Chains A and B, each alone.
Chain A
Amino acid sequence: MAGVVLLVVLWELYKALGPATGVVIGDLTVLPRTTDLAMPHVWDMIGRLFEPSGSGRNAVPVWLAVVQASLFSLGVAAVGWVVGVFVGLLLAILMQRFRTAESAVLPWIILSQTVPLIAIAPLVKRWGSTIEIGTFTWENWMSVAVIASYLAFFPVSVGALRGLNSPDAIHVELFRSYGVGWWKTLFTLRLPASVPYLLPALRLAAANAVIGTVVAEVSIGLRGGIGRMIIEFAQQASGDPARTWAPIFGAIAIGLVAAGFIALLGVLLRRYRRGEVPA
């Protein structure tokens, strides 16, 4: 909270004291301009939240429209996160079990993250729209969730693999000498030991899922989410610069909720977090 207040104070202070043309070194602007167009007042941004967002049927206050859009995006991001975590864990377990799988799959996993998101988003949408199984039809929000999971699975698979391999050799050998099978070793030794590695990975995955959702929404134009709202408001940024910030606040809120959820998860799993260095 203090951090937010500090940010607001800094913003307004710079706006009040900084030169209107920004700080320019040579031809390069190193600090932004302080005009209302470039840096609207914080109270204008908040004031805009209570104005109607559109006309006719869309005439709800901006804050409500932002909350609705944020909840929608959060839902899509959550689906993407769950799918991503599931796939990531599966891959990690597979890689832990079979050395060959690790050397075969790991490079692909890393390679997958070098593909630019804007390149795969329309492709996912196109492939998705050709899927039709019985009464099930592919919806556009599913494409967005797939893209979110595509970003989310990566930290989970890498973090979980590290965690699964983390038990001391002495413990693993103890299990082996008692003749404990691989599955039981996995559930009673490896998975609990991986929790300290898994939690930061899950947090990264949550952040990635939110970013993936917002970017994919922009990319394929999914209606209802915060990503599209950012673009729609940004298009009117010249006439009403303060309004542009409303959906950005929404996107920040989604990130905070997602991070809070992972913190909650960490509390639930605290008995497995022995030896974790507090972050």
Chain B
Amino acid sequence: MKHSTRLLAMGAIAATAIALAGCSSGGSSSSSTDSATSGALTPVKLQLQWYSQAQFAGYYAALDQGYYKDEGLDVSILEGAADIVPIDTLTSGQADYAISWVPKVLGSIEQGAAVTDVAQIFERSGTTQISMKSAGITTPADLKGKTVGSWGYGNEWELFAGMQKAGVGVGDISLVSQAFDMNGFLAGDIQAAQAMTYNEYAQVLETVNPATGKLYQPSDLNVIDWNTAGTAMLQDAVWADSTRLADDPAYADTTVKFIKASIKGWAYARDNPEEAAKIVTASGSQLGESHQLWMTNEVNKLIWPSENGVGMINQNEWDQTVSIAKGTKNETGATIITSDPPATAFSNEYVTKALDELKAEGVDVNGTSFKPITVTLKEGGK
């Protein structure tokens, strides 16, 4: 009796293993037939980090304005979600490209993911630590002894690096896990809360200050910007599959075209922020009108002006990200990576080609004269 149970259990495990093997091999063969059957346009899937919102305005604009089609690409944009890891989607072959922050991916690369940063879209970091004026937190050193919020999941490294640089240990603060909204900060439970310039910071400015009866103003807040604190890490980048880049010339070619059209989309978002915000809203984003426009404008500030052309990975910024990833310890004493990433972790080969083609077409890829617009936020972001 006992014996037969064990046999059955082993049989079940074996059957599952066979079924899984069948699934994965079926997957790789079907994707190759896909590209063969469709006619002129190459199907491309792009995996985002989150739901449709202006953080990804350039890609939605490129899709809406037909820039991808002009390059012969049929791009479908896959939205992210709470438990979707973009790099996993990319390495499992369900997406051709993925948008993700560099530090998060460095960890995946060390664990064996073969992916390459082919275009560094955001040149600056949008992460800040905000606090009420009354708390008097203006530098990372002031965080000592305070209640500090962070989302975790790889969003905490710039904060920890900034603290480490200022000589504040993780044990010197009380670290609070922060939710999607800013309620914890507004209620005073969190003294210094993590906030993206393009999202959470705006959420605070969309809330009525009970003391004044008006919306919170930037003058009510202190902002620690990791770009000026010197511990910024590279954020939104386009990631491609390293193995396919090396083995599949068609994929390498598609990569150039995809980057080219995407940068064109970002140039459109720079020159037409109102329209770009509307395109994102039309794609199904639930964000309010003024919030969406604010996000478009703030994201533009992270990209433009671009020193060497959008998407170029600057060696010193990359090195800073890697050295922070190696040298910063979190609350458990762990670092993101323990050794330098392989040379395949980033490549300027494809973005250089894309930028050359764009310059030949007369597209401004540096945006030296870029001037952000002024967005007035309304209550609740409406």
Interface residues, chain A, with chain B CB atoms under 8 Å away: 33, 35, 37-38, 53-58, 100, 103-104, 108, 118, 121-122, 125-127, 129-132, 218-223, 228-229, 231-241, 243
Q: How far is the CB of B381 from chain A (nearest CB, A)?
A: 5
Residues of B within 8 A of A219 (CB): 81-83
Contact of B379 among A121, A220, A239 (CB under 8 A): A239
Instruction: Judge if B14 is at the interface, Cβ distance under 8 Å.
Output: no
> In the bound complex, do residue B81 and residue A221 qualify as a contact, i.e. CB atoms below 8 Å apart?
yes
**What's the A-B contact tally at a CB cutoff of 8 Å?**
126
Q: Which residue of A lies closest to B377 (CB)?
A: A239
Asked if A238 contacts B82 (CB within 8 A), the reply is: no
25 contacting pairs across A/B (C-beta < 8 A): A33-B187, A38-B187, A55-B288, A55-B289, A104-B5, A127-B20, A129-B27, A130-B26, A130-B27, A130-B94, A132-B26, A218-B81, A221-B81, A221-B82, A221-B84, A223-B79, A232-B51, A234-B180, A235-B181, A236-B203, A236-B288, A236-B380, A238-B186, A238-B203, A239-B206
Determine if B9 and A58 form an interchain contact, defined as CB atoms under 8 angstroms apart.
Answer: no
Which residue of the partner chain, among A38, A100, A239, contacts B4 with CB atoms under 8 Å?
A100
CB pair A56 B380 closer than 8 Å: no
Q: Which residues of B contact A35 (CB under 8 A)?
A: 187, 210
Partner of B278, one of A53, A56, A129, A232: A56
CB contact between B83 and one of A37, A54, A220 (< 8 Å): that residue? A220
Q: Which 10 A-B pairs have the closest CB atoms?
A: A221-B81, A130-B27, A240-B380, A239-B206, A237-B181, A239-B380, A104-B8, A238-B182, A232-B286, A219-B83
Given A58-B284, A122-B84, A238-B182, 5 more contacts at CB 8 Å?
A54-B285, A57-B282, A103-B5, A122-B88, A228-B51
A127 to B1, CA, bound (A): 35
Bound form: Cα–Cα A55–B378 in Å: 14
Interface residues of B in 203-259 (CB under 8 A from A): 203-204, 206-207, 210
A243 touches B286 (CB 8 A): no
| Pair B24/A234 contact, Cβ less than 8 Å | no
Determine the chain B residues whose CB is within 8 A of the CB of A100 once the complex forms: 1, 4-5, 8
Q: How far is the CA of A38 from the CA of B181 in the complex (A)?
A: 12
A243 and B79 within 8 A (CB): no
- The interface of chain B, by Cβ under 8 A from chain A, is 1, 4-5, 8-9, 12, 20, 23-24, 26-27, 30, 51, 79-85, 88-89, 92, 94, 180-183, 186-187, 203-204, 206-207, 210, 278, 281-282, 284-289, 291-292, 379-382
Q: Which of B9, B83, B85, B289 contacts A104 (CB 8 A)?
A: B9
Given contacts A58-B281, A239-B379, A122 and B85 within 8 Å (CB-CB): yes
Q: B286 and A58: CB pair below 8 A?
A: yes
Complex alpha-carbon distance, A129 and B51, angstroms = 19
How many Å lie between the Cα of A58 and that of B285 in the bound state? 9
Chain A contacts of B382 at CB under 8 A?
A: 55
The chain A residue sitting closest to B45, CB to CB, is A129
Q: Is the CB of B83 within 8 A of A237?
A: no
Contacts of A118 in B (CB 8 A): 82-83
Q: Is the CB of B281 within 8 A of A241?
A: no
CB distance from A120 to the nearest CB of B (A): 10
> For the complex, what is the distance from the CA of A55 to the CA of B54, rounded to whole Å?
14
Whether B281 pairs with A218 at a CB distance below 8 angstroms is no
Chain B residue at minimum C-beta to C-beta distance from A121: B83
Contact at B84–A220, with CB atoms within 8 Å? yes
Residue in contact with B12 in the complex, picked from A108, A130, A229, CB distance below 8 Å: A108
| Contact B51–A243 (Cβ < 8 Å) | no
Nearest residue (CB) in A for B31 is A130
Whether B82 contacts A218 by the Cβ 8 Å rule is yes
Chain A residues near B82: list those with CB within 8 A: 118, 218-219, 221, 231
Give Cα A104 to B11, complex, Å: 11
Which chain A positions have C-beta within 8 A of B27? 129-130
